Structures are given as C-alpha cells and as structure tokens.
Amino acid sequence: MTAAALDTQPLNAGLLGDDERRHRLAMFGLSVPAMLLVALVLLVPFSWLAWLSLFDASGALSAENYARLLRPAYVNSFVSTLEVAALVTGVCILLGYPVAYLLSQLPKRAAQILLVFVILPFWTSVLVRTYAWLVLLQREGIINTWLKQLGLISESLPLVNNLTGTVIGMVHVMLPFLILPLYASMRAIDPVYLRAAANCGASPAQAFRQVFLPLSAPGLGAGAALTFVLCLGFYLTPALLGGGRVAMWSTQIADAVAKFANWGAASALSVALLVVTGLILWLMKWGVRRLGTSLGER
Amino acid sequence: MLSRAASSTQITHGQRLWLYGLVALVMAFLVIPCLIIIPLSFSDSQYLEFPPRGWSLRWYEAFFTSHEWLRSAVVSLKVACSTTILATVLGTLASYGLHKRAGNLDPIVRGALMLPMMVPLIFVAIGAFFVYSRLDLNNTLTGLVLAHTTLAIPFVIIAVSNGLASFDANQERAARSLGASPLRAFLTVTLPQIRISVISGMLFAFVTSFDEVVVSLFISSGATSTLTKRMFANIRDQVDPTVAAISSMLVVLSIVVLIAAQFVRRDGVKATDNR
C-alpha cells in the first residue's frame, strides 16, 4: 500500500466495507452445509411435528393432543421421569463428588492416570454397558449367584427389569458427565484458600465445609443440572433395564410412534419435554449464576 | 505413611482412608461393567457365569459365521466411515467460519449446531423418521449417514474450535499476504497446525456413529440394520451370548480409540514443545 493509498482511505472505505461484508458472507457460508443438515434432521421435522401437535385427527385446530397429556398414564410417566432423574442425579452427586474431590487433591499426573477409569466408560458404548449390567444383575446373573454362594441371600434379589436396574444403569452412564466437569472446576479452586483456613485454625473438616464446599458449589450445580437434564431424555437404559416397568418420557414418545403411530401424541409429548428441559436449564443457569455472584460478594 | 499430611489442610492419609476406599469402590463400579464382558464372552455355556466354567470361542464363531451379524457389522462400518468423513469436513468448515466471522448471528448458529448433542436422542430419532418417510430415506445408508453426521457435528465443532482457539491467526494472515489463496492458506498453514483437534474430532465422530442405537432403531431395518440395532433387538428378546462376543470387540475398539486419542494428543503436545 502506498502513501497515496493511505491518504485516500476515506474514498475507498466503501470498497473496504464491501470486502468486509463479502468476507463475512463467505465465512457464514462455511457453516451453511452443517446448518442445512441439522435443519433437515432436527429443526424442520421438529417444527413440523410441533405444528401438527396443534391439530386433532380431523385436521381442526385443537388442544386435544395436549389435553391427552393430562391422562393418568402420561402424568405418571412425567412424574416417574422426574423421580428417576432426581434419584440418578442424587446418587451421582453422592458417588461423584468424593471422586472429583480426591482427584482434584492428588498430583496432576496421578489424577490423570486415575481419570482413565472415568473416561473408559465414557468412551464405551452405552448399549454394551447396559448389556453388561443386564448380565450382572439378572435373576440368575453374576451378582445374585455370588451373593447366594456367599450365603448372604437365599432368594434372588430383583435387581433388574425394574426401577433399581434402571437407576444403576443410568448412574453408570451419567457419572462421568458429573465427575469430569466437577473435577475441572475443583482443580480451579486455589489451594491457598484451604491453607489460609488451616492457618486460621480450621480443622480439616471445617476447612472443607466452610471453604471448599461453597467454592465447589457452582461447579456441582452445573454438573448436577447437566446430569438431571440428560436423564430426562434417556431411552436406551430404561428400555432394556426397566423391563417395561419404568415408563420414561422418551419411551412414551417412542411407543406413541412405533406402537400406535400416534404422531399427535408423540409431538405433544416432545414439545412438553423440550419446554420442561429448557425451563430447568434456564432455572439452573440462573440459580448457578446467583450462587456464583453471592459467593463472589462474600 | 498413614500419619503423613495428605493435603494443605493437614489432614492425614489415615484420616482419609475411608475416602480412598469409597473412591476405589466407585472406580470399580465404573470400570468393571466395561471389562467383565470380555472374559464372559469366552464362556462355553449358554449361561454367562463369572468366572466361566469352560472356555471356548464359540460365540465369536457364531458371530463370524452368521450372515446376518456380519451384514449389519458391514453396514455399521460403512455408515461410521462415511459419517466420519462428512462430519469432519462439515464440522471443520463450520467451526472455521464461526471462528473467523464473529458476527451477531454466530451464537445462534453455534447454538443450533450444538442442538443435536443436547436434545434427547429420541427427538432426532422421531424427527428423522418423520422427515425421511417423506423423502424415502428410511432404511437407506444415506439416511443413516445424514442422521449420524448431524449427531457427530457438535463433537467435531467442539474439538476443532478448541484447536482454532489456540492457533495464531497471524500465521494464516502472513500466508495470505504472501499471495496464498484462502483455501491454500487454510490447507497448508492452518490445517496442519490444528490437525490434532481435527483428528480427535474424527475419532469422536466415528465412535458417535458406530455406537449409536436410538436413531438407528427408528430409521434402519432389515438389510440396513446397524450392528447396534441388531444387538438391541437381541438383548431385548433373547439371551444370546453372541452379543457378549460383539460387546467385547466393541470394548476393545473403544480402548483402542481411547489410546489413539491420548497418543494423538501427546504427539500434539510434543510437536508444540518442539516449536
């Protein structure tokens, strides 16, 4: 660029602006193919189904499909979905928090090696793991056989084809989703705070309760929210380990389509699930942010 | 040892024994179901016991001599390979575009592209089934590849965006000012430097497609059944230890992919160190 060109910059500002716009358009164009695919497989059919859910069988505008959601069978499945999600999230917190805590206190190298134990299930197919649980938990399965051989029980425990099996399988799937982000957030807590607490005379338990626990709360909240929301959409595990006794939201949607070809019901169920999921995510985000700021202010 | 301080709060290892025990139990809970299937698959009986009473390869033989199983394994492999290529290309393009543009629509575009990872799989399943029935794409490999690519794109975008975030864009500008076309600058300067992220995106895409069950349940059947769809039906309807043999091979595959991912990353770290 010559000095003259620099002097005349205001004159070609329009051209530069065009260039900028063209560049932006080209860059936008790069994400169009991926967008088209997501639109084809997810956005278009979902909007279409949501639109269809507003009409009854005769094609008239009605809330029939949504009124149907108030039937006991559906209401029960909503309640049991929320219960299962809450139960699984609770168990994941109880099991996952200590693991993330210990890993965050270990030297980085040791923690990385132990993290393989968390990442391996993460990479293993959910179907394979669910099958393994079926083999472990069934009536004549490995766990019942062992317990009988040890003389701890005389009758096989009903561990699968019910809520117990579903929760065990789901906890196994969800635990890495809680541990990994929680571990990352605990790593970010400066150990200086704990040392300071110890210096001020706090016992290890006090330092943990009054310093570490509140500092890890935002990470825990975010992880728990993710776990809870992902639980709401589970299909595979309840379908295989629930033995038809655990009616989850997703299994109801699948049944509405596959067994009854009832698209109206399936769409209304999906819309309701989406709304509830969005609402919970929004509430949790809001809660976590508030928690974060209130801790920051202290 | 046990009375030594374990952390800066002066708690000793002895006082923390219960924590070590608990964590060991949770780790066992996480890993055992992934691994126990391997010894079980060499059992010679219809009933899977641990440890198996007798050993044999009959369930592997059952798999490799079954036309049905092999056909679905081929379907899964074909779909997973095509998905890997398509998702890596589309995902890399999209994350590059999103990285460069920084316009007002970016968060919306990014959010939309992340959706397949966040919504329940059953949405994608019935959505694809619904729209495919109008496009005659149900029970086709094309349909499977398109659906799996949609599911894999978010993982590729996350991986590649990570790579781009730590890439120094001035290098690409230098190439451009030396006369390279945008495509050439990307292929010869940017891509080689973000290759680690692209490869880990590819691994994610492959695993996403190969392990996918719920969507395949709806949009594939008969000759286009994927391996996982056939396994699902088999697990639900009968107890056939052939599934144990297939599961073991899938576990070994995941371990190989996991090691590959670690290896690629370490290699990447080394490459950065040398610079």
Highest-confidence range of A4-13, B75-84, B163-172, B188-197, by mean pLDDT? B75-84
A235 touches chain B (CB under 8 A): yes
What is the residue-wise DSSP string for A5-34? HHHTHHHHHHHHHHHHHHHHHHHHHHHHHH
In this structure, what token pair is assigned to residue B28? Answer: 């066992």
Chain B: give the shortest CA distance to residue A158, in Å: 17
Interface size A-B, in CB pairs within 8 Å, comes to 247
Contact of A123 with B252, CB cutoff 8 Å: no
- Read off the pLDDT band of A92 (50, 70, 90): very high
| Least confident among B33-47, B101-115, B164-178 | B101-115
pLDDT at A151 exceeding the cut of 70:
yes
Are B152 and B208 spatial neighbours (Cβ–Cβ below 8 Å)?
yes
pLDDT of residue B29: 95
| Percent of chain B as helix, strand, coil, to the nearest 5 | 75, 0, 25
CB B113 within 8 A of CB B152: no
Fold of B67-238: MetI-like fold (1.10.3720)
Higher pLDDT, B153 or B107: B153
- Indicate the range of B97-111, B124-138, B162-176, B248-262 predicted with least confidence: B97-111
Residues A244-270: what's their mean pLDDT?
87
CB-CB neighbors (< 8 A) of A239 in chain B: 236
Task: Tell me whether A202 touches chain B (CB under 8 Å).
Answer: yes
The pLDDT assigned to B273 comes to 47
How far apart are the C-alpha atoms of B206 and B201, rounded to whole Å?
9
Average pLDDT for residues B14-37, to the nearest whole number? 91
Q: What percent of chain A has pLDDT over 70?
A: 93
A174: contact with B, CB 8 A cutoff:
no
Distance of alpha carbon B3 from alpha carbon B11, whole angstroms? 9
Beta bridge partners of B55: B43
Residue B182 backbone class (left: φ over 0; alpha: ψ -120 to 50; beta: rest): alpha
Contact status, residue B112 vs residue A43, Cβ threshold 8 Å: yes
Measured between beta carbons, which residues in chain B are less than 8 angstroms from residue A24? 101, 103
How confident is residue B247, by pLDDT bands cut at 50, 70 and 90? very high
Q: How far apart are CA B168 and CA B184, in angstroms?
A: 17
Residues A296, A46: Cα–Cα separation, whole Å = 41
User: Rounded to an integer, what distance in angstroms lies between the CA atom of residue A104 and that of residue A199?
Assistant: 21
- Dist. CA A97–CA A78, nearest whole Å: 28
Determine the pLDDT at residue A103.
93
Least confident of A85-94, A228-237, B97-106, B221-230: B97-106
What confidence score (pLDDT) does residue A58 get? 77
What's the pLDDT score for residue B156?
A: 95
State the Cα–Cα distance between residues B72 and B229, nearest whole angstrom: 9
Say yes or no to pLDDT of B1 above 60.
Answer: no
Task: Give me the pLDDT at residue B8, please.
Answer: 59
Q: Using an 8 Å CB-CB cutoff, list chain A residues near B40.
A: 135
**pTM score over 0.95:** no
Percent above pLDDT 90 for chain B: 52
Q: Report the C-alpha gap between B63 and B70 in whole angstroms.
A: 7
- Provide the pLDDT for residue A294: 62
Residue among B3, B4, B7, B9 with most chain A CBs within 10 A, to mutate: B9
pLDDT at A1: 45
Provide the percentage of residues in chain B whose pLDDT is more than 70.
Answer: 92
Mean predicted confidence (pLDDT) in A94-113: 92
Q: Domains of chain A by range and CATH?
A: 72-297 (1.10.3720.10)
Closest residue of chain B to A24, computed from CA coordinates: B101
The pair of structure tokens assigned to A89 is 């999230």
SS3 for B26? helix
For A149-163, A275-289, B71-85, which range has the lowest pLDDT when averaged over its residues? A275-289
The H-assigned helical ranges of A188-262 are 191-199, 204-207, 213-232, 236-241, 249-258
- pLDDT tens per residue across span B203-244: 999 999 999 999 999 999 888 999 999 999 998 887 788 999
Q: Would you say residue A35 has pLDDT above 90?
A: yes
**Residue A180 reports pLDDT greater than 70:** yes
Residues of A in contact with B125 (CB under 8 A): 235, 254
Task: Confirm if A261 and A118 have CB atoms less than 8 A apart.
Answer: no
Encoded tokens for A2? 């010559």
Cβ(B117)–Cβ(B154) under 8 Å? yes
**pLDDT confidence bin for B271, thresholds 50/70/90:** low
Does position A5 have pLDDT exceeding 80, yes or no?
A: no
- Burial profile A177-214: b = 16 or more Cβ within 10 angstroms, e = fewer: bbbbbbbebbeeeeeeebbebbeeebebeebbeebbee
Instruction: Kindly tell me if the per-residue pLDDT of B198 is higher than 80.
Output: yes
Distance of residue A292 Cα from the nearest chain B Cα, in angstroms: 23
Note the pLDDT of residue A298.
45
Backbone angles phi, psi at B51, to 5 degrees: -70, 150
Instruction: Please check the confidence at residue A145 and state whether its pLDDT lies above 70.
Output: yes
Q: Give the confidence band of A291 by pLDDT, cuts at 50, 70, 90.
A: low
Is the pLDDT confidence value at B197 over 70? Answer: yes
pLDDT at B206: 94
Q: Which residue has the tokens 């200086």?
A: A192
Chain centroid offset of residue B35 CA: 18
Residue B114 has pLDDT above 70, yes or no: yes
Q: Which of A27-41, B229-243, B257-271 has the lowest mean pLDDT?
A: B257-271
Strand, helix or coil for residue A105: helix
ipTM of the complex: 0.88
Quick one: closest CA in A to B245, which residue? A128
Highest-confidence range of A48-52, A216-220, B71-75, B95-99, by mean pLDDT?
Answer: B71-75
Q: Which residue has the tokens 């060109």?
A: A5
Q: With contact defined as beta carbons under 8 Å apart, do A165 and A243 qualify?
A: yes
Judged by a CB distance cut-off of 8 A, whether residue A63 touches chain B is: no
Q: State whether B251 and A99 contact (CB < 8 Å).
A: no
**Which tokens sit at A33?**
């193919």
pLDDT range class, residue B9, cuts 50, 70, 90: low
B190's tokens: 């940017």
Helices (H), B181-241: 182-185, 191-193, 195-211, 214-219, 227-237
* A288: confidence class by pLDDT, cuts 50, 70, 90: low
Residue A279 makes CB contacts below 8 A (sequence gap 6+) with none
Q: What would the pLDDT profile of A71-91 be if each residue is shown by its tens digit?
A: 888 888 889 999 999 999 999
B173 strand-pairing partners:
none
Q: Are A49 and B129 in contact (CB under 8 A)?
A: no
Strands (DSSP E) found in A100-217: none
pLDDT at residue A295, as a whole number: 56
CB contact under 8 A, A131 and B231: yes
Q: Which of B3, B4, B8 to mutate to test the interface with A (most CBs of A within 10 A)?
A: B8
Please name the member of B8, B29, B93 whose beta carbon is closest to the beta carbon of A198.
B8
pLDDT at A157: 85
Say whether B101 and A24 touch across the interface (CB within 8 A): yes
Structure tokens at B263: 């290896």
The answer to whether A180 and A118 have CB atoms below 8 angstroms apart is: yes
- Going from N- to C-terminal start, the domains of chain B cover 67-238
User: A-chain residues within 8 Å CB-CB of B211?
Assistant: 125-128
If pLDDT is split at 50, 70 and 90, which confidence band does A99 have? Answer: very high
Q: How confident is the model at residue B274 (pLDDT cuts 50, 70, 90)?
A: very low
For the segment B129-138, what is each residue's pLDDT rounded down to a tens digit? 999 999 999 9
CA nearest to A49, candidates B122, B215, B130: B130
Kindly tell me if the per-residue pLDDT of A6 is higher than 70: no
Report residue A23: phi and psi, to 5°: -60, -45
How many angstroms away from the CA of B150 is the closest CA of chain A? 6
- CA separation for the pair B49, B223 (Å, rounded): 33
How many Cβ atoms sit within 10 Å of the Cβ of residue A155? 8
Note whether B34 contacts A128, CB cutoff 8 Å.
yes
Q: What rounded mean pLDDT belongs to chain A?
A: 86
